[in-house]
Structure 1
Amino acid sequence: MSLRMLVFLGSTREGRMGENVAKCVVNLLSEVKHEVELIDPLKIGGDGHVHQPMHFYRDQNDVPEWMIETNNKIVNANAYVIVTPEYNCGLPPALTSVLDNFPPASYRHKPCGIVCYSMGSFGGIRAASFARPFLSELGMVSTPSACVIPQVVGKFSDEGECNDERIKNNLEKVVKEISWYGRAMEEMRSKEGVPS
């Protein structure tokens, strides 16, 4: 079963490494026949930061078109992958801001995989540990495996090719898990709907 997947890129820094990591994730998901789109905070509209979340507009006619379009993509996706760096031992503000722009109901009862990275030796693992409860509050279910990428510099090409076999194997494991959870949850959603 082909799934609709969104890959959320968490960084907006100049020279960000996450763009190439995210391209690799998109490539791997596409190779197993999923329909994949990258959600880049620098390209979806606004400036990547929350000013007024979609669900808090008093008049929904005032919601910007980019928010409506992105929210429709979130609602129609079967699963998500979060690609995040670690900023100050936590999550980057661009990631939380992008996700917080949209109502939790849009994400609810769908799985997400986590890919984290850093230039240091911990690979962003502290960001992953913060991501799980944050994503859970939005209604997502994170998969058991995460891909942790230490010393990310030089490990990905501009086209998203990974030159580290261990990292590539771990990314493929995340792809397998998000595919399995996505199919399983979509099957239950189509058979029984979602818990209310």
Structure 2
Amino acid sequence: MSSQPLKIVIFLGSTRPNRMAERVSVYVKKIVENKGMVPVLMDPDKIPFEVLKTPLHFYRNPADAPQFLHDNNELIKQADGYLVLSSEYNLTIPPALTNMLDHFPPSSFRHKPAGVVTYSMGQFGGMRASIALLPFLNELGIINIPTGVTIPTVQLTFNEDGETNDQKIIDRVDKLVTELKWYAEALHAQKTIGAPPS
């Protein structure tokens, strides 16, 4: 195992006004840090993604691609694992999330673990977005870990400072991040033995 702390890219999925993404991400980021890992947020509301026309790997001359695509691709490639924090739009994945991820080649994500956290203001916690995310992430070459988190009535579960006293959510997020770390460490160790199959 490397002496360097594991890097975890946290993808945010929502760009709506008054979104709950900040509340959830503040909490999840803190748990990642508490486990000794380094979180890196990738937020489609803060990065100038346009509606996808040309993904990074489709540019004939890579130098023609915007620098922010190269920079964020490097963050994805250097990550040891991922966390996807997603709301639910029309019973599925928010378009800003798929648009963001589709800008990058699957080879940048391949053979790395990911955990999924979904949330909604209703009773189902975004579970349908979670179901839709699993095959989508798998197609990118990501390894979906078994544990997932769904957060119902997120506006009541987390306050504006990203704090919660809901013990079920506290325990579930802790389990998710612990499991993600285990998979990231195991895959990192295996890659020191030999390169993964292409």
**TM > 0.5 fold call:** yes
Q: Which residue of 1 aligns with 2:181?
A: 179
Q: Which residue of 2 aligns with 1:168?
A: 170
The alignment's TM-score, normalised by the length of structure 1, stands at: 0.96
Q: Which residue of 2 aligns with 1:41?
A: 44
User: Would the aligned equivalents of 1:27 and 1:160 in 2 still touch at CA under 8 Å?
Assistant: no
Q: Which residue of 2 aligns with 1:25?
A: 28
Residue aligned with 2:101, SS? helix
Per the TM alignment, residue 5 of structure 1 is displaced from its structure 2 partner at its CA by 0.6
Q: Which residue of 2 aligns with 1:58?
A: 60
- What is the identity, as a one-letter code, of the residue corresponding to 2:193? K
Question: 1: distance between equivalents of 2:138 and 2:163?
Answer: 30
Shift of the 190–158 alpha-carbon distance from structure 1 to 2, 3 Å rule, reads: farther
- What is the identity, as a one-letter code, of the residue corresponding to 2:47? I
Deviations 1:43-69 (A, max 9, x none): 12234x423211111221111010000
> Tell me, which stretches of 5 or more residues in structure 2 are unaligned?
none
- What is the identity, as a one-letter code, of the residue corresponding to 1:41? P
Q: Which residue of 2 aligns with 1:14?
A: 17
Question: 2: distance between equivalents of 1:126 and 1:182?
Answer: 26
- What is the identity, as a one-letter code, of the residue corresponding to 2:137? L
Question: 2: distance between equivalents of 1:181 and 1:16?
Answer: 30
Question: 1: distance between equivalents of 2:7 and 2:87?
Answer: 24
The alignment's TM-score, normalised by the length of structure 2, stands at: 0.95
Question: 1: distance between equivalents of 2:91 and 2:197?
Answer: 35
User: Would the aligned equivalents of 1:91 and 1:131 in 2 still touch at CA under 8 Å?
Assistant: yes
Question: 2: distance between equivalents of 1:64 and 1:131?
Answer: 27
Instruction: Report the count of equivalent residues.
Output: 195
> Tell me, which stretches of 5 or more residues in structure 1 are unaligned?
none
Q: Which residue of 2 aligns with 1:193?
A: 195
CA RMSD of aligned residues (A): 1.2
User: Would the aligned equivalents of 2:111 and 2:143 in 1 still touch at CA under 8 Å?
Assistant: yes
Residue aligned with 2:157, SS? coil
Q: Which residue of 1 aligns with 2:143?
A: 141
Residue aligned with 2:172, SS? helix
Per the TM alignment, residue 185 of structure 1 is displaced from its structure 2 partner at its CA by 0.7
Question: 2: distance between equivalents of 1:38 and 1:68?
Answer: 16
State which drifts further: 50-59 or 79-88.
50-59
Q: Which residue of 2 aligns with 1:99?
A: 101
**Amino-acid identity (%):** 42
Question: 1: distance between equivalents of 2:43 and 2:128?
Answer: 22
Q: Which residue of 1 aligns with 2:74?
A: 72
User: Would the aligned equivalents of 2:56 and 2:104 in 1 still touch at CA under 8 Å?
Assistant: yes
Residue aligned with 2:177, SS? helix
Per the TM alignment, residue 157 of structure 1 is displaced from its structure 2 partner at its CA by 2.9
